[in-house]
Amino acid sequence: MGGYGGQGGGAIEIQAAGRIFTFGQILAQGGAGTAGSPAFAGFLGQPGTPGHTGFQCQSFIACGTSPGSGGAGSAGGSGGTAGTAGGGGGGAGGSVKVVATSFYGAFGAGIDTSGGTGASGGGNGGNGRTILDVATPGGLFYNPNISNTNTLSINALGGPQALFLSPMTYNPFAYQGTGGYSARIAPDINGSESMIGGASAFGLLPSDLLTNDPTLAGLAANAPQGTTAFLKVFANGTGPMGFTNTIPGTEMLVLANFGSTPLVGASLFGVGLQTFGFADNLGFGGSGMPQMLTELDPGQIFATLVSDTGLTNYMFSDGTNTYYATIDATNGGAAYGTVPEPAAIGMLGLGLTGLGLLRRRQAKLA
């Protein structure tokens, strides 16, 4: 009897709005075929049949009264050895789909959808496929080992399906306040904290970055006298500690309140600050609508993804006064929400690269 063919691999799909980090293998392998039944020796041949009755003698001379029977034939030879049964073929590999803003793997982690091995001459099963819908360049930022599979990478920022892929969300601050779909901010491989409420295209970063992140801490410590907030563009794939931005065509924009008074009604590009965490998602029982931030409290850091378009005019407000700054989004830069007196405006750019302040209202941020 021939061997059984291996079973086909199953399917695994993992979706996350932010980061997926795997420590082990994601497997959807085909099963191995089994060997055929062993060969059997031929059976012993049957004895020969008795000989025919002898003929009566035909002679005028007296003969015996009864002719004798012929002797029995000899036994047949043993049958030949049976042919070996064929082995079963290997099962085909299955499918793995990973949907995330970023996908990381520990050493040795990866995806394998290899086909099963055939037995005793049976053919191997075909490899399965892996679908990667990841917003970072090339589908992956920190490559887990992806082997024995047919890989289809879908970049969430391109192609006709871009608006329908899970890592995308509507961002009212994208494209400098005109709004549009963008990927989400997720922790990088070294990040131990997420955005408050979960990965999103806009929202609050952990407040401890104001002291723990060298760039943000330096901006707060070296702020001109009288300033209480700053706007910072992280360019060239950089970002606050634990939030490296590797999403092509975008930069991370941060508005931080390092003062002691809330900024009531703060906004960017005329759009009020807001958050959208996983608890606001319809799939988790939320309303599907963002939550408005009525104020940016002391120590809070608002972040959003904006497009990388070179020199860009940025407008931000504390709810009463509006401030304008020109920052090179390609190379990065920063601007403070308030400067002490007009004489100090010309000195502001000396301490920060790429900073330009076009004009300001007379009132200061609180």
| pLDDT (tens place) for every residue of the chain, 366 residues total | 888 888 999 999 998 888 888 888 899 999 998 888 777 766 767 766 666 666 656 655 556 556 666 666 677 777 777 777 888 888 899 999 988 888 888 877 889 999 999 888 888 989 999 888 888 755 455 567 888 888 887 765 554 444 455 678 899 998 888 898 888 999 988 888 999 999 999 999 999 999 999 999 999 999 888 888 888 989 888 899 999 888 888 889 999 999 888 988 889 988 999 999 889 988 889 998 999 999 999 999 999 998 887 667 788 877 677 878 788 777 778 877 653 333 333 223 323 333 333 333 323 333
On whether residue 180 sits in a domain, the answer given is yes
Q: For residues 156 and 102, give the distance between their C-alpha atoms in angstroms, rounded to a whole number.
A: 11
211 and 267, same domain (yes or no): yes
Place of tokens 């002490």: 340
| Dihedrals phi, psi of 363, to nearest 5 degrees | -75, 150
Residue 179 · residue 171 · CB < 8 Å = yes
- Position 162 in a domain: no
The pTM of the full predicted model, rounded to 2 decimals, is 0.75
Query: Are residues 97 and 199 part of one domain?
Result: no
Residues 352 and 256 in one domain: yes
Instruction: Examine the domain organization and report whether 177 and 135 are in the same domain.
Output: no
Q: Distance between CA 29 and CA 147 in Å, rounded?
A: 11
- Which 8-state DSSP code applies to residue 160? T
| β-sheet with 311-317: strand ranges across | 271-272, 267-268, 311-317, 322-328, 357-359
Whether the Cβ atoms of residue 273 and residue 302 lie closer than 8 Å to each other: yes
Give the pLDDT score at 135: 81
Q: Which helix (H) or strand (E) holds 26?
A: strand 25-27
CB 77 within 8 A of CB 41: no
Burial bucket for residue 90 (CB in 10 Å: 0-12, 13-18, 19+): buried
Q: Tell whether 249 and 312 lie within a shared domain.
A: yes
Looking at the structure, tell me whether residues 194 and 216 fall in a common domain: yes
In a domain, 52, yes or no: no
- The last residue of one of the domains, among 125, 155, 185, is 155
Q: How many domains in the chain? A: 2
Domain boundary among 155, 180, 195: 155
- Beta-carbon count within 10 A of 15 CB: 13
The verdict on 95 and 137 lying in the same domain is: yes
Give me the domain span that covers residue 103. Answer: 11-28+90-155
Let me know whether 172 and 151 are in one domain.
no
CB 186 within 8 A of CB 18: yes
With beta carbons less than 8 A apart as the criterion, state whether 171 and 155 touch: no
Q: Which of 212, 195, 211 is nearest to 203 (CA)?
A: 195
Same domain, 192 and 127: no
**What's residue 142's pLDDT?**
54
Asked whether residue 217 falls in the same domain as residue 144, the answer is no
Domain end, chosen from 155, 189, 209, is at 155
Tokens of 133: 């819908």
pLDDT value of position 161:
47
> CB–CB of 354/340 below 8 Å?
no
* Residue 325, in any domain of the structure: yes
Residue 66, domain member (yes or no): no
Please, which residues bridge with residue 325 across strands?
314, 357
